[in-house]
Amino acid sequence: MVGARVIAAPQAPPRRLVPTSAVEASRNGRFTVLTYNVLADLYASQELYGGYCPPWALSWSYRRQNLLREMLSYNADILCLQEIQSDAFDDFFGPELGRAGYLAVYKRKTEQVYTGSAYAIDGCATFYRKDAFTLIKKYEVEFNKAAASVAESAGPPGAPREKAMSRLMKNNVALILVLEAMEGSRAAPPPGWMADSATGASSKRPLLCVANTHIHANPELNDVKLWQVHTLLKGLEKIAASAEIPMVVCGDFNSVPGSAAHALLATGRVDAAHPELATDPLGILRPPSKLAHGLPLASAYAAASRPGPEGDAALPDGGVAVERLRQRLDVRGTGEPLLTNCTRDFCGTLDYIFYTHDALAPTAVLELPEEGALRGRTANGQPGGLPNAVSSSDHVALLSEIRWLVHPR
């Protein structure tokens, strides 16, 4: 109706950055990394979410604006996004985030999906601030190519080879960027970073390796998830062997805390007695001793679950905010968030931010919402979930502020 009043879209309460380390007040010598599965339009079906999310809030025209507004509010230096549909990247996120000062690299999955009316494909997109970082190199990981190698080892064409191909070919990808922090930018390392012990001059370029991935989702295929994570980590080890370079590894790993895939990321190995190793129809997880890596990875949110050496009292607010944050972390277990994905049928953690703790340290993380606030109630009084009118993905964005460690040499 002409002249009808337009009702503003509901806004989610702002999520604050929670200091987790008592460092100097200056924000220089650090950068922020966001990871977010935005829920591609091709997966946002009425069958999955229509029972609690109104059609207008599930429409892509509404969700994309809500997602963009949310992303920009975090003001991150690096954005690792998953389930970015190719047309959404080309027509919306690329141009809009470009106007906000970001450059991007995009990697599609290796096979399209039929949506019922057309074919579509999603993938991983990594955006970085053009006034903070310069792209040095990119690596595209297609797990299907690694799967083909496994299938080759299964022997000539036949049942074993076809079985391997069928189980492992899931079209997932990872995107790895090597960035250089620009001199004079807020993200540049402080003086003395990687300094030469004799001259005091910087002996290393301020390079940062950022890995962004979306691991296979089927809960019945934990062996495939673990194999994909192991394949990614082996690739990152090769990069680390060629150059001493700090790393951030994040994405939607579709693996809960305590799973074999999470254990490999967080501890560098998988215990031979882990129950998930019992399902290995292709023999790709044997021997368990090979399921290891040498990268010094740690979780940014798990680090927040434990007081630092200086104690919480030294934090800007005396530790009040971080104590509230810990109520939403698994402090008696892995230290990870209690949830990063919340639908009517599942509520748990699938997304992570890892960093190499010998060269980097988190100084703050984005606070986490409570399950009750995400679920709410539908019109018929039933519990809801994500997405909804306020939050436009079924995942929760994670963000960490990270500083470069100074290691005089």
Note the pLDDT tens digit of each residue in 350-390. Answer: 999 999 999 999 999 999 999 998 987 666 667 789 999 99
Q: Is residue 166 part of a domain?
A: yes
Q: Is residue 409 part of a domain?
A: no
- Label residues 157-191 b or e (16+ Cβ within 10 Å = b): eeeebeebbebbbbbbbbbbbbbbbbeebbbbbee
pLDDT in tens, 19-73: 998 776 567 899 999 999 999 999 999 999 998 999 999 999 999 999 999 999 9
Pick from 220, 309, 305, 211: nearest CA to 265: 211
Q: What is the pLDDT of residue 152?
A: 84
- Label residues 249-273 b or e (16+ Cβ within 10 Å = b): bbbbbbbbbebbbbbbbbeeebeee
Length of the chain: 409
Q: Is residue 19 part of a domain?
A: no
CA distances in angstroms from 385 to 124, 199, 305, listed in the order given: 24, 57, 25
- The parent domain of residue 364 ranges over 31-404
Low-confidence stretches of the chain (pLDDT < 70) are 1-9, 24-26, 155-156, 194-203, 377-381, 407-409
Q: What is the pLDDT of residue 317?
A: 84
Q: What is the pLDDT of residue 26?
A: 60
**Six-digit token pair at 142?**
């297609």
Q: What is the pLDDT of residue 196?
A: 47
Q: What is the pLDDT of residue 156?
A: 65
Pick from 329, 261, 409: nearest CA to 18: 329
CATH number at residue 345: 3.60.10.10
The half-sphere exposure of 27 on its side-chain side, counting CA atoms within 13 A, is 9
Q: What is d(CA 258, CA 407) in angstroms, rounded to the nearest whole number?
A: 32
Pick from 268, 391, 246, 400: nearest CA to 336: 400
- Helix pair angle (159-168, 143-153), 10° resolution: 160
Pick from 271, 262, 343: nearest CA to 297: 262
Q: What is d(CA 74, CA 35) in angstroms, rounded to the nearest whole number?
A: 11
Q: Is residue 7 part of a domain?
A: no
Pick from 233, 35, 41, 229: nearest CA to 126: 35
Q: Is residue 342 part of a domain?
A: yes
Q: What is the pLDDT of residue 75?
A: 97
Which ranges constitute the DSSP H helices of 243-306? 260-267, 300-304
Other beta carbons within 10 angstroms of residue 56's beta carbon come to 10
- Long-range CB pairs of 44-50 (<8 Å, 24+ gap) are 44/387, 48/343, 49/343, 49/385, 49/387, 49/394
**Six-digit token pair at 12?**
């989610």
Start-to-end Cα distance in the chain? 71
Count the domains in the chain.
Answer: 1
Query: Phi and psi for 168 in degrees, rounded to 5?
Result: -95, -25
Q: Is residue 46 part of a domain?
A: yes
Q: Is residue 23 part of a domain?
A: no
Other beta carbons within 10 angstroms of residue 379's beta carbon come to 8
Q: Is residue 203 part of a domain?
A: yes
